[in-house]
A and B are shown apart, each in its own frame.
Chain A
Amino acid sequence: MQLSREELIRAYRDMVTIRRFEERVQEEFSKGGIPGFVHLYAGEEASAVGVCTHLGPKDYIASTHRGHGHSIAKGCDVVGMMCELYGRQSGLCGGKGGSMHIADLDVGMLGANGIVGGGPPLVVGAALTAKTLGTGTVAVCFSGDGASNQGTTFEALNMAVVLKLPAIFVFENNQYGEGTGVAYAVGSGDIAGRARGFGLPAVKVDGDDFFAVHEAAREAIERARTGGGPSAIEVDTCRFYGHHSGDAQLYRGKDEVKNLRDQRDCLQHFRRRVDEAKLLDMDALDAVDAEIAALIERAVVTARAAPVPPESALLTDVYASY
């Protein structure tokens, strides 16, 4: 499918936003400004953006502990996200969720998740709502290769087929579950094949190629929207950082990360592709780079200066009423 100039610029903007956000989070986390744990998405941007480009604010996604990229691609406010990572009152979750629980239901983001395999059953639920209420919306579950081994995932895949739900399961295979390789931990090595075993149409796509993800997602989401039931997409991707920020990554081979950055950078692939096909001029992309650099700077400056939650916030929002 041919993308318009505006769509291409938007896709690039979202991918660059994710990359710069994550690079800055890494920097600020290392300096001690951001508490807790952060799991960075850099390297996988084409997956989140290639899929979420097809979604509207009323479609839902569920995410993983590596959730910043999905949040940005789904339209979460970047300043609000940074404030959340800093634990501020003005954060998307009032400072009570943090990186691993970042969420914004107003834009259809059901939350990052601290539990591996926590998301797939929730997406079955979101898709059930869509089908029951006849909203015409869909629900997308982003999971990692790690979650592809969880029982909750198997149950969700089967139930989505049984109930013929408008659900899309995107498995981002970034080659590692924490510090263990997919070659060891995923029995068949074929996550798309597993989904097929449950009766879902499933494809494996090159996650370095935004256009490949975009096309596979278009087909799956269209199928879901038109009553054709659930699909799965395995995205072959890579992460440029460790499992979490601060991970010594001893499990990596020599020069592994350098080679990934040299050869598997989805942003560089995108720039080269649109340049060669003369779809966009590089000046336009450079302008986006500058715009995003300013946005990320503003997010950090805002977050640093923002007040922490009031003490009373500790006891609020446990229940709707009690």
Chain B
Amino acid sequence: MPQKSIRQALNEALAQEMRRDPRIIVIGEDVAGGAGSEGQRDAYGGVLGVTKGLFGEFGESRVIDTPITESAIMGAAAGAAVTGLRPVAELMFSDFFGVCFDQIFNQAAKFRYMFGGKATTPLVIRTMIGAGRSAAAQHSQSPYGIFTSVPGLKCVVPSNAYDAKGLLISAIRDDDPVIFCEHKLMYDLRAEVPDEPYTIPFGEANIVRDGDDVTIVALARMVHYAAEAAEALAKEGIEIELIDPRTTSPLDEDTILESVERTGRLVIVDEATPRCSFATDIAALVADRAFAALKAPIRRVTAPHTPVPFSPSLEKLYIPSPEKIAAAVREVYGYAK
């Protein structure tokens, strides 16, 4: 099977779906680039090249460059979705949802419920998350917890190229608004990805690694850090079961609960801040539904309750590390033994 990067996998998913369904449009800032200039059109193909080449194949009526105008992009995409198109809108950095959240939070997410089930809003919002690039406080956040908390939104957070392609195709075919979170440091990460289109169902976790001692739940880049920690811990005789939920809404509760029933120990790794977050949500789920199985307190390894710092030395401390994950695992593994 061919190896592809996450960038290639996403690009392929978009192109294949756009060929299949003429109602699918791509809309956002510099999704092609070069409009109104003397140089090349498709000069960017998205700031990190994910939509490169779509303009050449599908043209300006389906690959739509916008001004820098996030509220209008999100509102137009929501309005188009509810009236017959299937937009894939790009919110360049997820931090920018602060500019346009009304259109997502009060409008797109609530149409169906408010309108008594009469509206269908097949909208995908692709957006970049993640720290680690010294992009500082307004370009480094991971707000999937906020998206997850909104009834009516679905939220996807892939960790590898295979999942990225299958989940993006599912998102495009889904009839609800989906926030699709892409980690900015992972676009070049490669995996085996089939050439043909395929879907991965929402709400179905991936068990990355089997083990009976401690369950780790992690998303996106943290899946890889957790896997690294699991390698080290295996040498100490601690076997990790690593679960990547892949979608935070809907959430595959059963896989997490079944695993903790068996291991009795849970560590959650989350690059986002710790309050009212994905990590607290999983901890609450397990405390609520698998309390009797727990042999140790649940541990969360997260970013601190601070904005993302600029200085690389501080940013490194901000992001959970394999070492911090391993330390948390050792703590719960050794608890009351």
Interface residues of A (CB under 8 A from B): 35-37, 87-88, 93, 95-101, 113-117, 146-147, 149-152, 176-186, 248-254, 256, 308-309, 311, 313-315, 318
How far, in whole Å, are A95 and B308 apart by their CA atoms in the complex? Answer: 12
Compute how far the CA of A150 lies from the CA of B100 in the bound complex, rounded to whole angstroms. Answer: 10
Given contacts A180-B65, A318-B305, contact A87 B313 (CB under 8 A): yes
Q: Establish whether residues A311 and B317, one from each chain, have CB atoms under 8 Å apart when the complex forms.
A: yes
A-B contact list, 20 entries, CB within 8 Å: A36-B134, A96-B137, A96-B310, A96-B311, A97-B136, A100-B135, A100-B136, A100-B139, A101-B138, A115-B95, A115-B99, A151-B69, A178-B47, A179-B44, A185-B35, A186-B67, A250-B39, A250-B40, A311-B317, A313-B309
A177-B29, A308-B314 are known; give 7 further A-B pairs, CB within 8 A: A95-B314, A98-B136, A98-B310, A99-B136, A176-B37, A178-B68, A309-B309
**Cβ < 8 Å to A, chain B residues 21-74:** 29-30, 33-40, 43-44, 47, 65-72
Which residue of the partner chain, among A36, A88, A113, A180, contacts B135 with CB atoms under 8 Å? A36
Say whether A114 contacts B136, CB under 8 Å. Answer: yes
Is B312 interfacial (CB 8 A cutoff)?
Answer: yes
B311 in contact with A182 (CB, 8 Å): no
Whether B136 and A180, one on each chain, are in contact in the complex, defined by CB atoms closer than 8 angstroms, is no
Contact between B36 and A179 (Cβ–Cβ < 8 Å)?
no
Interface size on B, residues (CB 8 A): 44
**Complex interface residues of chain B between 288 and 337 (CB less than 8 A to chain A):** 304-307, 309-314, 317-318
| Pick from A114, A182, A183: contact of B95, CB under 8 Å | A114
Cα(A182)–Cα(B65), bound, Å: 12
Closest to A117 in B: B99
Task: Verify A180–B37 contact, CB threshold 8 A.
Answer: yes
For chain B, what secondary structure do more than half of its interface residues adopt (helix, strand, loop), or is it mixed?
A: loop
A184 and B69: CB pair below 8 A? no
Q: In whole angstroms, how far apart are the Cα atoms of A115 and B47 in the complex?
A: 15
| A88 smallest CB distance to B (angstroms) | 7
A214 to chain B, nearest CB (A): 29
- Cα distance A117–B70 in the bound complex, in angstroms: 10
| Contact between A253 and B38, CB atoms less than 8 A apart | yes
Q: Is residue B19 contacting chain A, with contact meaning CB distance below 8 A?
A: no
- Shortest Cβ distance from residue B61 to the other chain A in the assembled complex, whole angstroms: 15
Contact assessment for A98 and B306 in the assembled complex, using a CB-CB cutoff below 8 Å: no
Complex Cα spacing A144 to B33, Å: 17
Chain B: minimal CB distance from A118 (Å): 8
Residues of A near B39 (CB, < 8 A) are 249-254, 256
Closest to B47 in A: A178
Which residues of chain A are near B133, meaning CB under 8 Å? 36
Complex contacts, B314 vs chain A, CB 8 Å = 87, 95-96, 308-309, 311, 313-314
Residue A149 contacts which of B43, B67, B313 (CB distance < 8 angstroms)? B67
